Structures are given as C-alpha cells and as structure tokens.
Amino acid sequence: MGELVNCVILKKEAEGLDKAPYPGELGQRILENVSKEGWKMWMKQQTMLMNENRLSAIDPKHRKFLEQEMEKFFFGDGSAQVEGYTPE
C-alpha cells in the first residue's frame, strides 16, 4: 500500500499515487493531493472528453485544453461536462 494523501476528489484520506502522473508543478500537486482512485476518476473524465470532442493527444491545442480541464477537475470547480451526459 502506498503513502496516504488527503484526496481533494474523495474528500478523505486514501492511498496516494506512486509517482507524479504528469510533468511539472501540476504533476507534483496531483501527486501530493490526489489518490489513486481520484486519478482513475480523472482518467475516465479525460477519456470521455477526448472521445466526445474528438481530441488528439498529439495536437498541442488539445493537450493544453486537457491540461486546463485536469487542473479544474482537481483544483477548480470541476471539469467541463459533455453535452447530454448524465453522471452516474
């Protein structure tokens, strides 16, 4: 079991990530404040955003959009929702 973090997504202490999942300062903030379960929730959101908006991981504009959404998901007021999507 990894180190425990106070997860900003789950709003409770949970198992943290083993390493920063993203480069730079944002990745470090995620490592320190997001649990493995919280990261899985982002990965699901990111996949939905990429599929519904037809984003490409190699397009710099799309990567920038996803980075902004990731920051909002973890540290802001939430990531954009896909039109017509109802959360579980």
Domain spans, the chain: 4-75
Q: What is the pLDDT of residue 83?
A: 59
Tokens matching residue 72:
């909002």
The CATH fold of domain 4-75: YggX-like (1.10.3880)
- In this structure, are residues 19 and 31 in contact, taking their beta carbons and an 8 Å threshold? yes
pTM for this predicted structure:
0.85
Tokens matching residue 31:
């490592």
- Report the alpha-carbon distance of residue 85 to residue 62 in Å, rounded: 20
pLDDT by residue, tens only, the chain of 88 residues: 679 999 999 999 999 999 999 999 999 999 999 999 999 999 999 999 999 999 998 999 999 999 999 999 999 987 766 555 555 5
One DSSP character per residue, the chain reads ---EEEETTTTEEEEBPSS-SSSHHHHHHHHHH-BHHHHHHHHHHHHHHHHHTT--TT-HHHHHHHHHHHHHHHHSS-PPPPTT----
Q: What is the pLDDT of residue 9?
A: 96
